[in-house]
Amino acid sequence: MKRLLLLLALVLTTVAADPPRREPLTLLVVGQTMDYLEPCGCGGQVAGGLARRAALLDELRREFPGAPVIDLGGQGFLTERLPLILRAAAYSGVALAGCAADDLAAWEHLAPAAAAAGMPLTSLPPPRLAAPPAPPRSLVIGPQRGWRIGVVAVSLPEGGVTALAPRLAAELTQLRQQRHCDLTVLLSHLGYGDTERLLERLPAAQRPRLVLLASAYGDTLPYFEELGATWVPVAAKGRSVSRITFASTPRGVSLSCEQRMVLAGVSDAAVASWVDAFVAAQRAGQVQQVAAGSTGQPAVSTCGPCHAAAVTAWRAHPHGHAVETLEQAGRDVAACLVCHAEQTRRLGLRPPATGDRGVECATCHEGLAAHLADPQTRPTTGGREACERCHTSENSPRWDLPKYLANVRGACAGTVQPRLAAPGG
Ligand code: HEC
Ligand code: HEC
Ligand code: HEC
Ligand code: HEC
């Protein structure tokens, strides 16, 4: 099992007095799932996914028994996925979830899905919709090993940080004074700059002890201490679990942090089966299929009479097998077909069951109808951007324009190219 242990370290100590000595308490943090159910496998990409994250959380909960798990929020905007995402979180013992701006925008779908999963939600700016009822502004975890932890989530506020600051200050004060929280945690979806501006507007004594920050980056960023708080970025696409341990020391509360990436490794079988069932239901729902060979553009076979070598090369190329790749994995659903099948890209339809399918001539060459009518009317070819619609950093991590382009040109010029060599191979 290859699980990278990243950046264990930073033991940070506050100077605030901490009267009673308590057992250390560990908090586990997930979040920013952003619709991400499983790694797609594109370009060898295998990081993240609900089932692997569940297995990692299981491992961490055995290592740190009784550790509360909290979710930063940012579940995603594909609302049909929310019940599954929240069910998987509840299964992994997530105690509460904050709300990002997207969560509040999807409130009418999120609230019932969270209620069904038994997942409490919290948000300081309330959703715009009155019904279902708005989530509480903050929630309290514990007492757990003598600790009470107050949690407040902030996302894009109307009126900006200036309007939000006094409301946040009041909420944090209430958590400390009326609800007797030893520690306050801010779940921030504002980005670094606005979060900093927000905290700067709070008197030092009112600032939260821990800031969990939505990170736009796919992977890790170092923890840091600023404005009296420890900042822990939470990786996008639910690709990490952060472990934060609070300990009371003679000088105050110390925090130690560690971020574990959800890489290739064990998957939780129950969650994996829910994801499979969800995908299977999506496939069953996507019944509309185009007639064989039809993309709404000239089919590959129409080029054969004059470009036989290019067609033969294409049929041997991964572009000519991009639909089979998905079918073999049982993932021939719209969300994947949109880059793997010209019919889905262009028409939003399922490709035919057999025949030429995939990333077709018409994906890269325009003006083909005119060219067929008169071969002297040359088709055009998209440039770099045309490739990078699909070869994104996410879906083609080994992307190298000259190398990939040479491969495609070679295929079009009729030299059958094998697959690109695997790295190191
Ligand atoms: C944004 C476009 C895009 C989407 C969406 C997409 N793919 Fe891909 N996929 C690609 C590209 C580009 C490659 C080729 C990457 C490379 O070799 O550099 C690829 C390659 C793959 C491969 C590897 C094929 C092999 O044999 O090496 C698999 C498997 C795959 N995709 C599965 C999926 C699944 C499953 C989904 C849906 C969850 C999906 N893809 C969605 C663009 C996409
Ligand atoms: C009736 C014969 C014929 C058919 C059918 C045909 N082509 Fe062509 N194509 C030509 C000729 C002739 C040229 C010019 C070749 C040259 O200059 O060497 C050409 C050139 C091209 C070029 C190169 C354009 C350039 O600027 O260099 C592309 C791309 C192309 N065809 C794509 C296609 C595709 C895709 C199809 C199928 C939809 C297709 N052609 C069908 C005859 C045909
Ligand atoms: C509509 C989406 C799409 C576009 C546009 C696209 N590709 Fe691809 N490409 C894919 C997919 C999907 C695969 C993987 C297919 C598979 O293996 O199932 C792939 C695979 C490849 C491969 C084979 C990689 C390997 O590992 O062997 C090369 C090379 C490649 N693309 C180059 C290009 C270039 C160059 C362009 C632009 C001229 C381009 N592609 C445009 C989707 C696209
Ligand atoms: C992934 C994108 C892509 C796909 C799919 C693709 N082509 Fe091309 N094709 C290109 C690029 C890029 C070039 C080089 C253009 C240039 O050099 O300006 C090219 C060049 C060509 C040429 C000129 C070749 C030469 O002699 O230099 C022909 C003919 C051609 N393609 C036909 C086809 C046919 C037929 C298909 C389908 C079987 C096809 N292409 C599929 C991207 C693609």
| Predicted local confidence at residue 158, as pLDDT | 76
Residue environment code for 106-131, b if the CB has 16+ CB neighbours within 10 A, otherwise e: bbebbbebbeebebebbbbbebeeee
Among protein residues, the one with the nearest Cα to ligand 2's atom 28 is 379
Q: Inform me whether the pLDDT recorded for 366 exceeds 80.
A: yes
Cα end-to-end distance, the chain, whole Å: 22
Q: Kindly state if the Cβ of 125 falls inside 6 Å of ligand 2.
A: no
The string of pLDDT tens digits covering residues 82-118 is 999 999 999 999 999 999 999 999 999 999 999 999 9
Q: Which two tokens stand for residue 400?
A: 């190298």
Average pLDDT over residues 402-406: 95
Q: Inform me whether the pLDDT recorded for 173 exceeds 90.
A: yes
| Predicted local confidence at residue 6, as pLDDT | 36
| Predicted local confidence at residue 20, as pLDDT | 60
| Predicted local confidence at residue 3, as pLDDT | 37
| Predicted local confidence at residue 222, as pLDDT | 81
In sequence order, which residues have a C-beta less than 8 Å from that of residue 23 and are 6 or more positions away? 145, 146
Mean pLDDT of the chain: 89
Asked whether the bond before 143 is cis by omega within 30 degrees of 0, the reply is yes
Q: Inform me whether the pLDDT recorded for 12 exceeds 50.
A: no
* Chain centroid offset of residue 334 CA: 18
Among protein residues, the one with the nearest Cα to ligand 3's atom 5 is 387
Distance in Å, CA 315 to ligand 2 centroid = 17
Q: What contacts 24+ positions apart, CB below 8 Å, involve 177-180?
A: 179/140, 179/148, 179/150, 180/148
The residue to which tokens 């990786």 are assigned? 235
pLDDT band at 47 (very low <50, low <70, confident <90, very high): confident
From the alpha carbon of 363, which atom of ligand 4 is closest?
A: 5
Average pLDDT over residues 196-221: 87
Q: Inform me whether the pLDDT recorded for 77 exceeds 60.
A: yes
Using most ligand atoms within 8 A of CB, pick from 42, 319, 400 the residue to mutate for ligand 3.
Answer: 319
Distance in Å, CA 286 to ligand 1 centroid = 19
CA distance 320 to 51: 31
Asked whether the bond before 166 is cis by omega within 30 degrees of 0, the reply is no
Q: Inform me whether the pLDDT recorded for 353 exceeds 70.
A: yes
Q: Inform me whether the pLDDT recorded for 285 exceeds 80.
A: no
| Predicted local confidence at residue 11, as pLDDT | 40
CA distance 208 to 183: 7
Asked whether the bond before 133 is cis by omega within 30 degrees of 0, the reply is no
CA distance 257 to 24: 13
Distance in Å, CA 288 to ligand 4 centroid = 29
| Predicted local confidence at residue 219, as pLDDT | 59
Q: Which two tokens stand for residue 406?
A: 């040479």
From the alpha carbon of 409, which atom of ligand 3 is closest?
A: 35
| Predicted local confidence at residue 298, as pLDDT | 92
Residue type, 283: R
Residue type, 63: E
| Predicted local confidence at residue 7, as pLDDT | 35
Using most ligand atoms within 8 A of CB, pick from 365, 380, 395 the residue to mutate for ligand 4.
Answer: 365
Average pLDDT over residues 184-205: 95
Using most ligand atoms within 8 A of CB, pick from 34, 38, 40 the residue to mutate for ligand 1.
Answer: 40
CA distance 278 to 114: 17
Which protein residues touch ligand 3 with a CB less than 6 Å away?
318-319, 321-322, 325, 339-340, 345, 359, 363-364, 386-387, 389-391, 404-405, 407-408, 419-420
